[in-house]
Amino acid sequence: MTQLHAVNLHDYAALAQERLAPEAWAYLAGGAGDEATLADNAAAWAALKLLPRVLRPLHPGHTQVELLGRTWAHPIGLAPVAAHGLFHPEAEAGTVLAAAAQGAACALSSQGSTPWAELVALVKDEPGRGPLWAQGYWQGSLTRTLALFEQAAKAGMEAIVFTVDAPVHGARDRERRAGFVLPAELSKANAVLGSHPPLPAFEAPPLCAGLLVHAPTWAELQALIAASPLPVIVKGLLHPDDAMQARDLGAAAGWVSNHGGRTLDTVLPTAAALPAIRAAVGPAWPLIVDGGIRRGTDVLKALALGASAAFIGRPAVQALAVEGARGVAHAIRLLRDEFEIALALCGCATPAQLHPGLIHKA
Amino acid sequence: MTQLHAVNLHDYAALAQERLAPEAWAYLAGGAGDEATLADNAAAWAALKLLPRVLRPLHPGHTQVELLGRTWAHPIGLAPVAAHGLFHPEAEAGTVLAAAAQGAACALSSQGSTPWAELVALVKDEPGRGPLWAQGYWQGSLTRTLALFEQAAKAGMEAIVFTVDAPVHGARDRERRAGFVLPAELSKANAVLGSHPPLPAFEAPPLCAGLLVHAPTWAELQALIAASPLPVIVKGLLHPDDAMQARDLGAAAGWVSNHGGRTLDTVLPTAAALPAIRAAVGPAWPLIVDGGIRRGTDVLKALALGASAAFIGRPAVQALAVEGARGVAHAIRLLRDEFEIALALCGCATPAQLHPGLIHKA
Amino acid sequence: MTQLHAVNLHDYAALAQERLAPEAWAYLAGGAGDEATLADNAAAWAALKLLPRVLRPLHPGHTQVELLGRTWAHPIGLAPVAAHGLFHPEAEAGTVLAAAAQGAACALSSQGSTPWAELVALVKDEPGRGPLWAQGYWQGSLTRTLALFEQAAKAGMEAIVFTVDAPVHGARDRERRAGFVLPAELSKANAVLGSHPPLPAFEAPPLCAGLLVHAPTWAELQALIAASPLPVIVKGLLHPDDAMQARDLGAAAGWVSNHGGRTLDTVLPTAAALPAIRAAVGPAWPLIVDGGIRRGTDVLKALALGASAAFIGRPAVQALAVEGARGVAHAIRLLRDEFEIALALCGCATPAQLHPGLIHKA
Amino acid sequence: MTQLHAVNLHDYAALAQERLAPEAWAYLAGGAGDEATLADNAAAWAALKLLPRVLRPLHPGHTQVELLGRTWAHPIGLAPVAAHGLFHPEAEAGTVLAAAAQGAACALSSQGSTPWAELVALVKDEPGRGPLWAQGYWQGSLTRTLALFEQAAKAGMEAIVFTVDAPVHGARDRERRAGFVLPAELSKANAVLGSHPPLPAFEAPPLCAGLLVHAPTWAELQALIAASPLPVIVKGLLHPDDAMQARDLGAAAGWVSNHGGRTLDTVLPTAAALPAIRAAVGPAWPLIVDGGIRRGTDVLKALALGASAAFIGRPAVQALAVEGARGVAHAIRLLRDEFEIALALCGCATPAQLHPGLIHKA
């Protein structure tokens, strides 16, 4: 139990910082460079001004969305974060149980502390649970990458989240100053057989060192989608043209993300990137968004601007650090309630009624 | 008597914070979410730059406005706030006496600590007093809502302020952290007979819980206006289309408000919403505005941009907390004098001479 | 002698604050309301970005300007400030001697501590001195106002600065909190015979109290210009239409000013008002500007945007407070040198070469 | 060795401030006036938002650029700074060795602590070194200026950097307050024979004192280019017309600079000046840029907006102050690695692929 009763996601961040070792906190909370994008992501949602409507029928209302062939209880999900074992002994098990209990979508990193199969088994039969997705990177070859994702399919995952915005590690000064190195024993639960060249670290510059030979291109994405045992969601889109290309290659959905400001700094915040991407890909193709979502009003704005769902990364792991599964469930509940209230206060009975006109054009 | 002599409304806020218990202060001063709208409301008025005129005739001058069939000594009023008894033993009696002494309009909450009839009786025959209005919410049915407002009419109120922007409570984190609950004995003075379902609290999400069955729609507003014993002022308008609809349904006036930033956060500040609403409803329909009015220049700008009158919420109650009726009267006087000086310094002899050209277009 | 050697005008402000009694500092440094205009005035000059030119001929160069029938050594002057005796025993004598030594224009308030005649006598025959102007307000009637200005003419003043932006006092909260009252014995050196109703103070609202019967209008200005023994400069212009009207009535020059942010708060800063005024009145009519001029680059920008000269108010009096005439002379010298350097670094040999293209259009 | 391990250029600034005497720090870190341009330079790069592309081929990749007839390992160089001996005993020798080891271009000030010939001799035969340039000012006559630059040619320099934005010293208040004077023995290593009038100091205003007789104009630049033994790079351009004129007179390259905010304050930041200059001069003429480059993303943005290379001034000298040549080499390495990572994360295999579309248009 915590002394400060958390009433919003900010509280969980503050409580987690108190509890975690400085290096773990640096890894969890930090971003690339001067952390401008980290701050901009959250500020960009907050800066959007709502123009709510009144006296509209709110009954019968609900927060459900239809997405990727399934009904979600609400449009909030958990973005993939590596190595939950760093933050709490319950690790990914705590996270996945909490997500299931709150009906939230859950994307689980390939660099987790717990094998996917174990995690899916924990919640597979939970009636109200949200979708379970496996997230991974290109593994140097199509064969190896498919091996990873077949592992996910076999475990019972419903989709693949394929991250394309981190062909090399970003320069995370906070981590480097704290001397943080991701412990192998907490991040290799889903590693494929054989030794894969790790993502090139900052000290070994990628271009000259030739490590980028292994970085994937659109051709590799196309092959991956064709051969994948599961629908592929392409994560890390900021440019409308890239989103259109992913859609045209058959990706099941796009994920607007700047990797939470952890790879490249001074990047366009996702709230600013989303509208042009929605306009480019048309109304039908599902779009996930993450980056700076901290309030129910942020979720609402994301959907009003064209997102199909909004995902949180750091906040859920911060809640895990504070109270394990109980903290994560509470954090999702807080955000979900805030979203529901915001929906009603904007005059919308359901998420489907959200539209860009609810955001004031400055 | 206070040690710091208040020379403006900010001083009353500082003095009230010193005097009130932390929970009462959290309830009075707080807003929804991160309190962005609370701050934006005041900042938006301050950010408007005046372009004053010189050497214009200022005599004979006055601050009177004609509004809703009556002459007001000046265009400043007190917005409804619940449970004045929380802040000072004089409660709403102190407020209403001060308003009457200063000729200010006074809108009294249905969730007050003192019955409307008692309050009206105190000042009904005061020659220079301003209008007295009763504010309330939808009571779950037309019958119950009319019962509340007939009570207001019987008490001698002159108009009804019907609040439409809070079908559910907002998430006020500051209150929740302070563990504040509005005491029933200080907020039920005007409760109608029978037990009414209270506004759904944050912990019971409105849409799923079905409580919004009771939220009013435009149809209910229309019926209410048709049957109301008093003119109805619709409070909580931010969108021009909603304002036009309220006007077309026969509302006596519109009230541009975001509930002082207490329901939904990151909403458009009222100073930014007002011009488009005035443009939409035309010059004749009266428009009240509140939200962040702290200076005489704010009142002047509100009128220049199309408001018929400008109301303050928290500042009057803060002055009540500091010195009861005497504080409230002084606070109104300060604001009124600031307005009068600003009027003269802008080259206007009367409020009717105010116009949008006095605000610099950036 | 001071311990901190002042190298710019900011230093004189800091040093003056250390030396002055809090009430005198509040009077000198304070502004109206929340002092937003006070801050905006300086910030608006700083925010203008220079686009300097290189390799242009700088020889022969100088800082002289031709203005109101006279060559000025440089375009910097001292704006009128009341009661210099409050700040240093040398009072206006110190100021006027310093201005003369530095060739700066000097406008002396009618509410000074020293009679105009004494001040003019001190420097009249100084060969390099700048122009000497007498500043005053409407005195309730044309006769009384002319009496004041004939006194100025007799003393040897060269022009009248007629202030039109303060028909009533502004609400200066800092002064009121400090309990400051302008001492009559330090501000009546030029008072005309007979007891004149003082400017209405804040506690006596102007419109209702009828004091504005005495506020001047365009008709009074016209009569004053017609009868004035000296050229009349109209001070307090912010709107282009008002500037054009003053020019058309025969004023010798206009003075773009918001009274240093001391009367009305949240007014357009003078840097923002100047370009439209210059565009409206055409290139020939002289325009003085004050408000927030603290750096040589501010003087340069003022001239580039159409001002004929730039005046400082508080900084000179702050330097007086620190070291009397010696401080004022040094302050003018610092600003003049900064201006000269800025002129050369912008690629201009003389002030006449300054033009709006030196300011970047954002 | 330092206690804080520097992981970025900001760290070197902090460490240098700890180690340097206050006067040397004031000289190195300070800027003109209120140091607004100093801050704006860095902020302007950071404010540009990247819009990276994904899944593009990154192999084979490199950071090389072709510039002024030579292949550079990367587009980062060291801008000229006077008197390195003030900051570390290794002085310019440390700097030039570090630059050579890291393949960085190095521009060496004529006001250095070590003769050019000695410096060139140290690294001339280093295979991977970058270009070596000599920087200087007009020396009062063409003969004297050519004498200086012939000295550079004889030493083995490859180009002349001719600085045109400082015909007079700026007003650097921080230096003046610290009482700093550039020691002759540390800044005269390349002085030409005979005593030359030094640049006019602040206390001797340039225009009136007639010292600007010696400031060069376009005619002098033309003569210098015609007679120069080496290609001439014109440093200090902010206006597109000046850049075109330099190009048309035969300058080998232009250098967009505001002298690091050290001469004139509130100048346009170089990041804002660069695009219009590139548009004006066309794609072929090489453009160097400096001012506020602190991150690899800054280098990337500079090239995306049309720069051919990006130079750092203070950061390299700060690293020199901390650890001599070793610090400088590490600082260049950090920036180079950041640039390489940013290049890959923007989807570009080489600097030649950078283009304005990578910067979001707000």
Please write the tens of the pLDDT for every residue from D67-78: 999 999 999 999
Do the domain assignments include residue C318?
yes
User: Locate tokens 């330097």: which residue?
Assistant: C319
Q: Which amino acid is at B157?
A: M
Do the domain assignments include residue C356?
no
Find out whether B125 is annotated in a ligand binding site.
no
Percent of chain B having pLDDT more than 70? Answer: 93
Of A36, A168, A205, the CB nearest to D46: A36
Q: Give the burial string for C108-121 (b: 16+ CB within 10 Å, else e).
A: bbbbbbbbbbebbe
C275-309: pLDDT as tens digits: 999 999 999 999 999 999 999 999 999 999 999 99
Of D176, D210, D237, the CB nearest to C54: D237
* Ramachandran angles phi, psi of A234, nearest 5°: -95, 115
Which residues in chain D have Cβ-Cβ distances shorter than 8 Å to A171? 8, 296, 337-338, 341
The pLDDT value recorded for residue A193 is 55
Find out whether A70 is annotated in a ligand binding site.
no
User: Locate tokens 């205003």: which residue?
Assistant: D205
Neighbours of D309 (CB within 10 A): 27
Low-confidence ranges of chain A (pLDDT < 70): 1-4, 193-214
Q: Which amino acid is at D249?
A: L
Peptide bond into C131 cis (omega under 30): no
Peptide bond into B286 cis (omega under 30): no
C176-204: pLDDT as tens digits: 888 888 898 899 899 875 544 444 444 45
Neighbours of D112 (CB within 10 A): 27
Q: Which amino acid is at B349?
A: A
Q: Give kind and range of the element (H or E) at residue D280.
A: helix D270-281
Low-confidence ranges of chain D (pLDDT < 50): 1-2, 194-203
User: Pick from D230, D211, D222, D261: which is nearest to D38 by CA?
Assistant: D261
Strands B309-312 and B76-78: parallel
Q: Which of D74, D84, D169, D259 is catalytic?
A: D259
CB contact under 8 A, C267 and B296: no
ipTM topping 0.90: yes
Distance CA C328, CA D280 (A): 46
Q: Does D39 touch chain C if contact means CB atoms closer than 8 Å?
A: no
B36-76: pLDDT as tens digits: 999 999 999 999 999 999 999 998 899 999 999 999 999 99
CA D298 to chain centre: 14
- In terms of phi and psi (left: phi > 0; alpha: psi -120 to 50; beta: otherwise), the region of D291 is left
* Ramachandran angles phi, psi of A76, nearest 5°: -110, 135
The single-letter DSSP state of residue A87 is T
Count up the domains in chain A and report the number: 1
pLDDT higher than threshold 60 for residue B205: no
Q: How close, in Å, is residue D162 to chain C by CA atoms?
A: 12
Peptide bond into A283 cis (omega under 30): no
Q: Which amino acid is at B200?
A: P
Which of C341, C350, C354 has the most D C-beta neighbours within 10 Å, making it the best mutation to test the interface with D?
C341
CB contact under 8 A, B341 and C242: no
Chain D residue at shortest CA distance from A173: D7
Q: Which two tokens stand for residue D21?
A: 């005497």
Distance CA B254, CA B237 (A): 7
Do the domain assignments include residue B1?
no
The pLDDT value recorded for residue D117 is 97
Do the domain assignments include residue C306?
yes
Provide the annotated binding site of C for glyoxylate. 27, 137, 172, 259, 262
Contact by Cβ (8 Å): C98, C76:
no
Strands A287-290 and A309-312: parallel
Which residues in chain D have Cβ-Cβ distances shorter than 8 Å to C296? 171
B24-39: pLDDT as tens digits: 999 999 999 999 999 9
Q: Give kind and range of the element (H or E) at residue C234.
A: strand C232-237
User: Locate tokens 């592992």: which residue?
Assistant: A151
Which of B10, B15, B45, B54 has the most C C-beta neighbours within 10 Å, making it the best mutation to test the interface with C?
B54
Chains B+C touching (3+ CB pairs under 8 Å) = yes
The pLDDT value recorded for residue D59 is 86
CB contact under 8 A, D206 and C295: no
Do the domain assignments include residue C309?
yes
Q: Does B239 touch chain A if contact means CB atoms closer than 8 Å?
A: yes
**Does residue C93 sit in helix, strand or coil?**
helix
**Does residue C73 sit in helix, strand or coil?**
coil
Exposure of C308 in the CB half-sphere (CA atoms within 13 A): 25
- In terms of phi and psi (left: phi > 0; alpha: psi -120 to 50; beta: otherwise), the region of C259 is left
CB contact under 8 A, D264 and C53: no
Which residues in chain C have Cβ-Cβ distances shorter than 8 Å to D216? 55
Distance CA A224, CA A180 (A): 33
User: Pick from A337, C308, D336, A181: which is nearest to B209 by CA?
Assistant: A337
CA–CA distances in Å: residue B22 to residues A306, B30, B36: 41, 11, 21
The pLDDT value recorded for residue B341 is 95
Contact by Cβ (8 Å): C277, C256:
yes
Find out whether B314 is annotated in a ligand binding site.
yes
B62 CB-contact burial (10 Å; exposed 0-12 / middle 13-18 / buried 19+): middle
CB contact under 8 A, A202 and D336: no
Instruction: Report the residue count for chain D.
Output: 362
Q: Rounded to a whole number, what is the largest CA-CA distance in chain C? A: 62
- Cα angle C1, C6, C9 (rounded to 5 degrees) comes to 130
Q: Give the burial string for D95-107 (b: 16+ CB within 10 Å, else e).
A: bbbbbbbbbbbbb
- Cα angle B237, B242, B247 (rounded to 5 degrees) comes to 95
Q: Which chains touch D (3 or more CB pairs under 8 A)?
A: A, C
Please give the interface size between A and D, counted as residue pairs whose CB atoms are below 8 Å apart: 119
Distance CA B172, CA B33 (A): 6
DSSP string, C288-309: EEESS--SHHHHHHHHHTT-SE
Q: Which two tokens stand for residue C20?
A: 């002055």
Distance CA B318, CA B331 (A): 9
Which residues in chain C have Cβ-Cβ distances shorter than 8 Å to B342? 264
CA–CA distances in Å: residue B350 to residues A217, B63, B118, B333, B358: 70, 6, 35, 18, 14
Q: Give kind and range of the element (H or E) at residue A218.
A: helix A218-227
Low-confidence ranges of chain C (pLDDT < 70): 1-4, 193-214
CA–CA distances in Å: residue A245 to residues A34, A278, B326: 31, 13, 69
Q: B339 Cβ partners below 8 Å, 6+ apart?
A: B63, B74, B75, B76, B296, B299, B300
Which residues in chain D have Cβ-Cβ distances shorter than 8 Å to A165? 52, 54, 345
Neighbours of A22 (CB within 10 A): 13
User: Locate tokens 């003389």: which residue?
Assistant: C350
Alpha helices in chain B (DSSP H): 9-19, 22-29, 36-47, 91-101, 116-123, 142-155, 173-178, 206-209, 218-227, 240-248, 270-281, 296-304, 314-345
Which residues in chain A have Cβ-Cβ distances shorter than 8 Å to D338? 33, 171
Of A48, A53, A343, the CB nearest to B266: A48
Q: Give the burial string for D140-172 (b: 16+ CB within 10 Å, else e).
A: bebebbbebbebbbebebbbbbbbbbbbbbbbb
Q: Which amino acid is at D308?
A: S
* Ramachandran angles phi, psi of A290, nearest 5°: -140, 175
| Confidence band of B133 (pLDDT split at 50, 70, 90) | very high
Q: Answer yes or no: D259 catalytic.
A: yes
Q: Which amino acid is at D255?
A: W
User: Pick from B261, B237, B259: which is nearest to B249 by CA?
Assistant: B237
Distance CA C52, CA D165 (A): 9
Strands D253-256 and D287-290: parallel
Domain interval for residue D247: 9-53+70-182+204-346
**Does residue D251 sit in helix, strand or coil?**
coil
- In terms of phi and psi (left: phi > 0; alpha: psi -120 to 50; beta: otherwise), the region of B81 is beta
| Confidence band of B104 (pLDDT split at 50, 70, 90) | very high
The CATH number assigned to the domain holding A77 equals 3.20.20.70
Do the domain assignments include residue A3?
no
Distance CA C211, CA C140 (A): 10
B234-284: pLDDT as tens digits: 999 999 999 999 999 999 999 999 999 999 999 999 999 999 999 999 999
Distance CA D271, CA D289 (A): 8
Q: D304 Cβ partners below 8 Å, 6+ apart?
A: D354, D355, D356, D358, D359
Strands (E), chain A: 65-66, 71-72, 76-78, 105-109, 132-136, 159-163, 232-237, 253-256, 287-290, 309-312
Q: How close, in Å, is residue A149 to chain B by CA atoms?
A: 37
Distance CA B139, CA D128 (A): 82
Q: Does A153 touch chain B if contact means CB atoms closer than 8 Å?
A: no
Do the domain assignments include residue D322?
yes
Which of C15, C55, C63, C343 has the most D C-beta neighbours within 10 Å, making it the best mutation to test the interface with D?
C55
User: Locate tokens 């015909």: which residue?
Assistant: D167
Do the domain assignments include residue A2?
no
